[in-house]
Amino acid sequence: MGIEGSPFVSHGCSSRTERAELSAETRSQLLDACQSAYPEEACGVLAGDLPGPAANQADGVVRVTAVYPIRNTASDTAAAFSFHPQDWINTLYRIQKNRQSLVGIYHSHPVQPAFPSEADHQGMQFGSAASYWIISLADRACPVIQPYRWENRAFHPLVLA
């Protein structure tokens, strides 16, 4: 099923810039973290620059500059993810210490496409992340990275630059 057929992805118009940027080095770190967890779901957070009032952030682009893997403690790590509580606290501390912003949450889909699942949708009901990234390892030789923005109870695909 493509994004067009997903019941958990919005297809409406938005006046906001819909982009996320990831350097080649950061992309490699993200894929390494996901590949090393295979066949289980990898999870973690992304740090960098959020769109905001600063001159270099006024374009509305989410810029990822760091990847922080967090241990997955879900009961079924092949089909779900849950952050290890102490890893989560330590990671938030490291982001703050490095004067970074939390810009996203990521996890992998070991055998599914990079589209939000029902579990992803349910998990975001009370969440608020600047971006939500799904990395599909369905074809391990050609992984797919798809960032989303969560707004109005729906995932909105972002263009990855």
What integer pLDDT is reported at residue 128 of this predicted model? Answer: 65
Residue 83 forms beta bridges with which residues?
A: 72
DSSP class of residue 7 equals: T
Higher pLDDT, 59 or 68: 68
105 SS3 class? strand
- Residues 18-62 pLDDT 10s: 899 999 999 999 999 999 999 999 999 999 976 655 544 446 788
Cα–Cα distance for residue pair 143/157, rounded to 1 Å: 17
What was the pLDDT predicted at 11?
Answer: 45
Task: Map out the domains of the chain with their CATH numbers.
Answer: 17-160 (3.40.140.10)
Position with higher pLDDT, 147 vs 130: 147
- What are the tens digits of pLDDT across the range 79-110? 999 999 999 999 999 999 999 999 999 999 99
Which segments of 22-104 does DSSP mark as H helices, in order? 24-37, 85-97
Q: Is the pLDDT of residue 139 over 90?
A: yes
